[in-house]
């Protein structure tokens, strides 16, 4: 969800890429539905593991895994932890709640980055 929101709402300051510590290998239908209902494109989204190349090229990694970044990532200085509930298996209203939460966080991050860059 965060990648879709960032692509649409913050592409001027964020080049998003999504990867996980334990990817499902597919995008959940309720994720697709929720994104589409809110005007976000799900095209191009994939469920994949984070690679060394992606890690190395990232300026900032947002950790939504629920695991403490200092236990999971080699350089936790470039990691920002977001405590976001996983909606997997939940109902439509819960997915919407999580999307709203993530969208708020993505847009706050984008605003912060814009201010830092003087945009």
Domains parsed from the chain with CATH numbers: 2-103 (3.40.50.2300)
Of the candidates 36, 46, 29, 51, the one whose C-alpha atom is nearest the C-alpha of residue 5 is 36
**pLDDT one-digit tens code per residue, 16-66:** 999 988 888 899 999 999 999 999 999 999 999 988 898 889 999 999 998
CA angle 96, 97, 98 (to 5 degrees): 90
What would the mean pLDDT of 96-103 be, rounded to a whole number?
98
pTM, whole model, 2 decimals?
A: 0.91
- Other Cβ atoms less than 10 A from the Cβ of 74: the count is 9
Residue owning tokens 């960032």: 6
Q: Label residue 8 by pLDDT band (50, 70, 90).
A: very high
Question: What values do phi and psi take at 16, rounded to 5?
Answer: -75, 150
State the chain's maximal CA–CA distance in angstroms.
41
């Amino acid at each position: 969800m965060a990648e879709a929101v960032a692509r649409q709402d913050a592409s001027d300051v964020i080049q998003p890429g999504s990867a996980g510590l334990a990817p499902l290998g597919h995008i959940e239908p309720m994720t697709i539905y929720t994104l589409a209902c809110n005007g976000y494109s799900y095209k191009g989204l994939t469920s994949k593991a984070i690679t060394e190349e992606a890690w190395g090229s990232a300026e900032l990694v947002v950790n939504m895994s629920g695991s403490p970044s200092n236990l999971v990532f080699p350089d936790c200085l470039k990691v920002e932890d977001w405590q976001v509930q996983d909606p997997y298996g939940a109902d439509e209203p819960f997915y919407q709640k999580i999307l709203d939460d993530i969208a708020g966080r993505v847009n706050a991050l984008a605003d912060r980055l814009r201010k830092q860059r003087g945009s």
